[in-house]
Amino acid sequence: MTTRMNGPLAIAACGLLAVSLTAGGQNARRDQADARLPASVTVSRKPRAKIIDGYRAMARLARQHGRIDRQLDVDEMSFADLRSTLVREGVVDDGWGFIPMAGLKRDVLAYMAASYLDIRPGLLTSIFGMTRRYSYREMHHRGLMVQGQPRQVVSGSELLSVLTRVAAEVDRRDPDRQ
Amino acid sequence: MFHRQQTTRTGSRYPAIGIACLLVAAYGAFTSGPTTIRAQQPSGPAVVPKGAQPLLIAVSQVSGDVTYTRRVNNRTRVRTVTLASKLQAGDTVHMDVGARCLLLFRNAGKAAANLAPAFDAIRPIAFRPEAPATDGDGVVAAVLLRGYSEASIAMAFERNQAATIQIDMPQGVARAGVVPTAIKPRFRIRSPRTVVAVRGTEIRELEISVDRGDILSMGRTGVVAANVRSGLYRSAQSEQGTRKGTGTDRRSSRLVRAIMDLTIRTRVVLAGPHKGRIEFDQAKRESRDAQSFGKGDRLKPNGNPKFQNFINSNKPNDGTGRADSTGGGGGGGGDGTIDGDGG
């Protein structure tokens, strides 16, 4: 029985090797093609957006709007640099201790979007600052985000949809940009 | 003895099945993965029907990170969109958040005459003895993409003086304008949930997203019609909008916007001396058109001998309404007097 197994095993090993080499070459070409696309295209295919995806997309939007230095290579920045840049812009709370690979929740995204748009509704919010919970409720009220669980992790596509609405809101406030 | 033979036979079958499963699993593991742009591309360039001329797609304005992908010889080519880029049917435009891109669809005959519109330049005023061209330098349609958008140009050709343009957008924000022609153009934007068609005018804004669904904002004129199982019914009028959610639609409906711009513009509505044609509120058009003929229509002079007799009788109008023959209630809310009938 051992003798009979050698033949199929050799064929299987050769097949696996050929398949892996072929697929590896295809993946290399795919990666090469995808690398030239905007970074948001890769984000849009993710079923779960990460914190670093949200930070990077927000920084990219801020660079597009000229709020941070246009020469900054946002795609190559480290997480710590991204965080410090966004903290300086007031988009990210300084007390947040998220790890880069954590899921991006809706309330976190709402806080970043509301802070970017400088939305501070209400007296208490204007005095004590915005919280993630009320940021999400305010963004939902303004139609920038959909109703749902605040702690739900957004998909990459939803992240880009919200940021697109944020960009549209910035354009609406400043018609000269259009 | 019997059990021993059976054990030997099953032992010789299992390795072959296991190897086959291993091969299939290995192939799946190596070939599957995140969807790449290569997998989203069409198999080849779009086929232009016989007798049709492909439209030239020029980039009029671009800002931000905008690229397009094209299938060339079974390979996907990625290029950055610039003002010099010439797109064609089959290309897919990818835009970053905050980017803008204005695409102009022009017919080939006019485009060959080098009539590229310069939007940022100040043109000298040219007094032409003839009337200006109504075709806008050959521009058939214009599409403005904003924000994160993926737009695949599925069809762009002109046949028998009618342009056919179709854009497939899984996600993004688009505004579109279509030049009305005698033969109505066919302009469509498809999303995974919706088909939006324009005939002769504009899409103020169409937002296609995975979270809020497809949201269509209307222009100054036009209607929105939803094509569902029960048939075509109107869902919104001008200056309104409509929305189709992302949830499962048990009615399997498609949203179709049909703007009868030509019909509206050729309609003559006399709303009063103080309102010109351009000031007429198109949103109220239906309520005005739906009026039926009232009793006051009998005051019309054509074929009404009683009216002719009354006019020629030299009797003063006392404002009582002449209830004997032309009693009250004119079509426009008239009080029965002659001058109250606006027709």
Whether B212 and B169 map to the same domain: the answer is yes
- Asked if residue B152 lies in contact with residue B57, where contact means CB atoms within 8 angstroms, the answer is no
- Asked if residue B232 lies in contact with residue B226, where contact means CB atoms within 8 angstroms, the answer is yes
Angle at B170 between CA B159 and CA B237, to 5 degrees: 75
Whether A50 and A99 map to the same domain: the answer is yes
Instruction: Please name the amino acid found at residue B56.
Output: L
Whether B300 and B258 map to the same domain: the answer is no
Residue B39 domain-assigned?
A: no
CB within 8 Å of A167: residues ≥ 6 apart: A61, A64, A65, B97, B98, B146, B147
Whether B338 and B254 map to the same domain: the answer is no
Over residues A19-61, the pLDDT tens digits come to 555 544 445 555 566 667 778 888 888 889 999 999 999 999 9
Which tokens in the block code for residue B55?
Answer: 């439209």
- Asked if residue B39 lies in contact with residue B138, where contact means CB atoms within 8 angstroms, the answer is no
Query: How far apart are the CA of A128 and the nearest CA of chain B, in angstroms?
Result: 31
- Average pLDDT for residues A82-100, to the nearest whole number? 92
Whether A98 and A164 map to the same domain: the answer is yes
Query: How far apart are the CA of B156 and the nearest CA of chain A, in angstroms?
Result: 24
Q: Which of B38, B64, B211 sits opposite A30 (nearest CB)?
A: B38
Residue B275 domain-assigned?
A: no
* Tokens 């020629």 sit on residue: B312
Q: Cβ separation of A164 and B146 shorter than 8 Å?
A: yes
- Asked if residue B337 lies in contact with residue B317, where contact means CB atoms within 8 angstroms, the answer is yes
Pairing verdict, β B92-95 and B66-72 = antiparallel
Whether B199 and B306 map to the same domain: the answer is no
Residue B32 domain-assigned?
A: no
Whether B92 and B224 map to the same domain: the answer is yes
Whether A4 and A77 map to the same domain: the answer is no
Residue B11 domain-assigned?
A: no
User: What backbone phi and psi angles, to 5 degrees, belong to A123?
Assistant: -75, -45
Whether B327 and B205 map to the same domain: the answer is no
Q: CA–CA separation, A6 vs A124, rounded Å?
A: 76
What pLDDT does B329 receive?
A: 36
Residue B329 belongs to what domain range?
296-343
Whether A57 and A20 map to the same domain: the answer is no
Residue A30 belongs to what domain range?
1-36
What pLDDT does B108 receive?
A: 74
Whether B176 and B319 map to the same domain: the answer is no
What pLDDT does B340 receive?
A: 31
What pLDDT does B24 receive?
A: 62
CB atoms within 10 A of CB A64: 21
CB within 8 Å of B171: residues ≥ 6 apart: A44, A157, A160, A161, B148, B149, B150, B208, B209, B210
What pLDDT does A153 receive?
A: 92
Angle at B270 between CA B272 and CA B223, to 5 degrees: 115
What pLDDT does B311 receive?
A: 65
Selection from B22, B24, B25, B4 nearest residue B14 by Cα: B22
Residue B291 domain-assigned?
A: no
Alpha carbon B121 to its chain centroid, in Å, reads 29
SS in 3 state form for B146-206?
EEEEEEEEEEEEEECCEEEEEEEEEEEEEEEEECCCCCCCEEEEECCCCEEEECCCEEEEE
- Asked if residue B181 lies in contact with residue B141, where contact means CB atoms within 8 angstroms, the answer is no
Please tell me whether residue A62 adopts helix, strand or coil conformation: helix
What pLDDT does B106 receive?
A: 84
What pLDDT does B153 receive?
A: 92
Mutate to test the interface with A, among B13, B41, B93, B96 (most CBs of A within 10 A): B96
What pLDDT does B334 receive?
A: 33
Chunked into runs of 10 residues, chain B (343 residues) has average pLDDT values of 46 62 56 47 66 88 89 84 90 90 80 50 53 57 88 89 87 81 80 72 70 69 54 50 46 36 31 40 43 51 63 60 39 32 30
Selection from A68, A94, A73 nearest residue A83 by Cα: A94
Whether A32 and A59 map to the same domain: the answer is no
CB within 8 Å of B143: residues ≥ 6 apart: B102, B103, B105, B151, B167, B174, B175, B176
What pLDDT does B113 receive?
A: 47
Question: b/e map of B121-154 (b: 16 or more CB within 10 Å)?
Answer: eeeeeeeeeeeeeeebebbbbbbbbbbbbbbbbb
What pLDDT does A128 receive?
A: 79
By C-alpha distance, the chain B residue nearest A37 is B67
Whether B138 and B222 map to the same domain: the answer is yes
Whether B334 and B210 map to the same domain: the answer is no
Whether B252 and B314 map to the same domain: the answer is no
What pLDDT does B67 receive?
A: 92
What pLDDT does B134 receive?
A: 46
Count the domains in chain B: 2
Please report which confidence band the pLDDT of residue A17 belongs to, taking 50, 70 and 90 as the band edges: low
Q: Cβ separation of B171 and A160 shorter than 8 Å?
A: yes
Residue B69 domain-assigned?
A: yes
User: What backbone phi and psi angles, to 5 degrees, belong to B270?
Assistant: -100, 95
Whether A116 and A167 map to the same domain: the answer is yes
Query: How far apart are the CA of A5 and the nearest CA of chain B, in angstroms?
Result: 7
Whether A149 and A162 map to the same domain: the answer is yes
Please tell me whether residue B93 adopts helix, strand or coil conformation: strand
Mutate to test the interface with A, among B23, B68, B81, B97 (most CBs of A within 10 A): B97
Whether B191 and B318 map to the same domain: the answer is no
What pLDDT does B203 receive?
A: 66
Percent of chain A having pLDDT more than 70?
78
Evaluate if pTM is beyond 0.80.
Answer: no
Count the domains in chain A: 2
Q: Which of B27, B36, B66 sits opposite A19 (nearest CB)?
A: B27
Which tokens in the block code for residue A39?
Answer: 């970074």
What pLDDT does B284 receive?
A: 46
Q: Which of B36, B65, B210 sits opposite A38 (nearest CB)?
A: B65
CB within 8 Å of A161: residues ≥ 6 apart: B148, B171, B209, B210, B211, B212
Please tell me whether residue B339 adopts helix, strand or coil conformation: helix
What pLDDT does A159 receive?
A: 93
Contacts 24+ apart (CB under 8 A), A13-22: A15/B23, A15/B26, A16/B22, A16/B23, A16/B26, A19/B23, A19/B26, A19/B27, A19/B30, A20/B26, A20/B30, A22/B30
Whether A67 and A10 map to the same domain: the answer is no
Whether B79 and B202 map to the same domain: the answer is yes
Top-confidence residue, A63 or B286: A63
What pLDDT does B282 receive?
A: 45
Q: Cβ separation of A33 and B78 shorter than 8 Å?
A: yes
Alpha helices, DSSP H only, in B204-324?
Answer: 261-266, 285-289, 305-311
Question: b/e map of A93-108 (b: 16 or more CB within 10 Å)?
Answer: beeeebeeeebbbbbb
Task: Taking the CA atoms of A65, A69, A71 and A75 in sequence, report the sign of the dihedral they define.
Answer: negative
